[in-house]
Structure 1
Amino acid sequence: MLRRRPPLLIRPELDDDPLHQTLLDLRPTQQLHGLGAGRTSPAWEPVAELLRATGRDWDRRAHRVAVLARGLPAVVGERWTADRPDDGDALVLRAFVESARAPAEGHSAVRRAEQTCLRAAVACPEDPTPWLALLSLMHSCAVPVRDAVPVWTQAVNRAPWHRTAYHLMLRYLSPRGHGAVPDMMDFAWQAAFQAPHGSPVALLPVAARVELVAHRQGQTHLAALGASGHWNEPRAGQEIDTALSRWFHTAAAPHAEAVIDLNVLAFALTRAHRPADAALAFQRVGRHMTRHPWDLLPEPERAFRYWRDQLTGHRRT
């Protein structure tokens, strides 16, 4: 008898169950007096508790704040900063919210968002997260790379080898951002080989190659036809080997966005025709698919399921 396979889990919070539960708890409901009506504690208290529990895990803090900024009802953050105007966590969340929406609202909004980022940085002097919000704002506003580097440096000085910081700079240096292919690839290679053993930064060259393929596919049809050839280059094999030996096969604990990195690695391994290694990556991924980089293929979910099921032996039974 055929059994229905469990659905894929495609969600911004990835495998962070406390974050997922917080978002569920604060999802807007049909209440006459707005979110939080009838509550004995402020609507923002679960968010504050989650960020307090995150502590100085800067990697997970950046992930949680970024997802909360996109997924929370706006009223939660607004009430938090209104109730606690000097709360560092509230300011960091507000910095991410304003940095995301300000570029579409004009110059005055951008200036306010910049000031909010700097206020958050003063309130949380050891935290790299406000600087990541400012870096994202600068990227959205097409600020030149040379002006963004000092902001990136502020983040990595506070948290060396911070995964999100390196991926934000990679995005900046991408030809789809404000850079060029040689700069992007050189940055990724240097970072990967300087990163400590077990750091997910070792995957950065593979992520850069995915970004290169995305760039090529966004160009002419002829360029898109040749995109798959990028994975057959000798250097691509070296990049994958580096990710495997210096991160994937180490005893490092899973980081906050490991699901994203595992999807990138599994995608690269399927493109490079390395089924044994890809099977191991898919085993760790499980049901947690990310839209990117599978959206570089036709029918992303179907492609993900096909490769995962073929390589790990999953079948309908």
Structure 2
Amino acid sequence: MLRRRPSLLIRPELDDEPLHTTLTELRPAQQLHGLGAGRTRPLWEPVADLLRATGRDWDRRVHRVSVLAQSLPAVVSQRWAADRPGDGDALVLRAFVEATRAPAEGHAAVRRAEQTCLLAAGACPEDPAPWLALLTLMYSCAVPVKDAVPVWTEAVNRAPWHRTAYHRLLRYLSPRAHGTVPDMMDFAWQAAARAPHGSPVALLPVAARVELTAHRQGESPLAAALGASGTWNEPRARQEIDVALNGWFHAAAASHAEAVTDLNVLAFALTRAHLPDEAAPVFRRIGRHMTRHPWDLLPEPERTFVYWRDRLTERRRT
């Protein structure tokens, strides 16, 4: 009898099961349409419980709040902020919700979102999350990089080597956003060179090269198709991959909140650079947890991911 392979898990919560449980509890159709009518406890209470349990794990806190802000109906954060004015967790979630939605709602909404971010920062003075919410708002509003860097600095002063903080500024510096290729690559190389052993920031140059790939494909899809491997055949690319492997993947470091994302970036890079032996253990660690990006830079992303994962992991078993 043929054994069916388990389906891929492609979800914003990644492998965070407590976050997945909270999202599942708040997603039933009757709650989205009835706005929690008939509940015996406040609509926002599962979110409050989750963030309380997260505590001062700033890495996981930012991941959870970012996903909650994008995945839940806005009424959850609105009601929590109304029921518990001054609650730091409620303000942080509200800051992320407003930072995500305000740019599409006009100037007044942007100003309100900025004030909410600053209120959250005042309520949670040791927390980097409000500053990353403000950075997200500035990114969406195309604020110049020179004005965004001090906000990023506020975040990393509170949580040095915060993985998501570095990736948010990398996105800001991308030529697809508000920076240039030299700005982006220099930032990534310098950050990785200074990062402590075991820090996921060691992967930043590889993430920058993925962003460079996306930029080149956006500029000239035909040229990208004809010379897609060129970016990964550059001598510096192999050096960047080695830094990521030795400085993070092979280090005996504790897993971080967005490790699944980083593993997918690393696996993508290794397949593009034609390094199957190095890619096999990365795919084994990924398992079912595919992320859409960066595989969406290739035709048939899910099929391509499964092809490489199954081919490499099966080959290593034989």
Bin the TM-score by the shorter chain: over 0.9
1:56 maps to 2:50: no
Match of 1:262 in 2: 263
Contact 2:206/2:266 (<8 A) preserved: yes
- Tell me how far apart the structure 2 counterparts of residues 30 and 197 of structure 1 sit (CA, whole Å): 48
**Aligned twin of 1:159:** 159
Distance 1:147 1:208 in 2: 21
Return the alpha-carbon distance in structure 2 between the equivalents of residues 81 and 44 of structure 1: 9
Q: Secondary structure of 2:48's match?
A: helix
Deviation at 1:38, TM superposition (A): 2.3
Instruction: Kindly report which structure 2 residues correspond to 1:136-215, keeping only aligned pairs within 5 A, or say none.
Output: 136-215=136-215
CA distance in 1, matches of 2:109, 2:165: 24
Alignment of 1:263-278 (within 5 A): 263-278=264-279
CA deviation after TM superposition for structure 1 residue 30, in Å: 2.4
Following TM superposition, by how much is the alpha carbon of 1:227 offset from its aligned partner in structure 2, in angstroms? Answer: 3.2
- Cα distance, 1:256 vs structure 2: 0.1
The alpha carbon displacement at 1:87 in A equals 0.5
CA contact (8 A) 1:28 1:35 kept: no
Runs of at least 5 residues in structure 1 that lack an aligned partner in the other structure: none
Partner Cα separation in structure 1 for residue 33 and residue 309 of structure 2: 47
Conserved 8 A contact 1:128-1:158: yes
1:1-317 matches, within 5 Å, as 1-30=1-30, 34-224=34-224, 225-313=226-314
Check conservation: 1:27, 1:72, Cα contact below 8 A.
yes
- Is the Cα–Cα contact under 8 Å of residues 28 and 73 in structure 1 kept in the other structure? no
Deviation at 1:32, TM superposition (A): 10
Which segments of 5 or more consecutive residues in structure 2 lack a partner in the other structure?
Answer: none
Secondary structure of 1:7 counterpart: coil
Counterpart contact for 1:99–1:133, Cα < 8 Å: yes
Deviation at 1:37, TM superposition (A): 2.2
Write the distance in 1 (CA, Å) between the matches of 2:227 and 2:79.
51
Determine if contact 2:60/2:257 at 8 Å carries over to the other structure.
Answer: yes
3-state DSSP of counterpart to 2:53: helix
Which stretch shifts more, 122-131 or 3-12? 3-12
Output one character per residue of 1:180-228: Cα deviation in whole Å (capped at 9) or x when no partner: 0001000000000100000000000000000000000001234313232
Give the aligned CA root-mean-square deviation in angstroms.
Answer: 1.4
Shift of 1:233: 1.0
Aligned pair in 2 of structure 1 residues 31, 21: CA closer, same or farther (>3 Å)? Answer: closer
Shift of 1:104: 0.7
TM norm structure 1? 0.97
Give the Cα separation in 2 of the matches to 1:3 and 1:195: 44
Pick closer, same or farther for the CA change 1:194–1:33 going to 2, 3 Å: closer
| TM-score normalised per structure 2 | 0.97
* 1:275 CA drift (Å): 0.6
Report percent identity of matched pairs: 82
How many pairs align? 315
In structure 2, distance between residues paired with 1:312 and 1:32: 41
Contact 1:81/1:87 (<8 A) preserved? yes
